[in-house]
Amino acid sequence: MLVLPPELTHRQATACLHMLKQGLRVHRDSTVVVDARALTVFDTSALAVLLECRREALSEGKQFAVQGMPPALAGMAGLYGVDALLAPAH
């Protein structure tokens, strides 16, 4: 499981994406799950990071899911029409 930091804004986006991509490289499961429960401070950059992480996972033939997405971030994903791409983990 990959874990998002408590804060993910434009300022942290590049470093966070780099960290997630490194995690993807060593991730062996068929489904990549990103845990967003710690996320408390974020902007639309968090969506961009999650979408890029999803793209990377799919390019490696893996499924992608997000666990514990904060309601405000889920609402933002719905507003931008990408909520279906960031499905919750089961």
Q: Which has the closest alpha carbon to 16: 28, 90, 41, 61?
A: 41
Confidence (pTM): 0.93
**How confident is the model over 33-79, as pLDDT tens digits?**
999 999 999 999 999 999 999 999 999 999 999 999 999 999 999 99
Q: Does the structure show a pLDDT above 70 at 5?
A: yes
pLDDT interval class at 90 (50, 70, 90): low
What pLDDT is recorded for position 80?
A: 95
Q: Which has the closest alpha carbon to 74: 54, 55, 47, 38?
A: 47
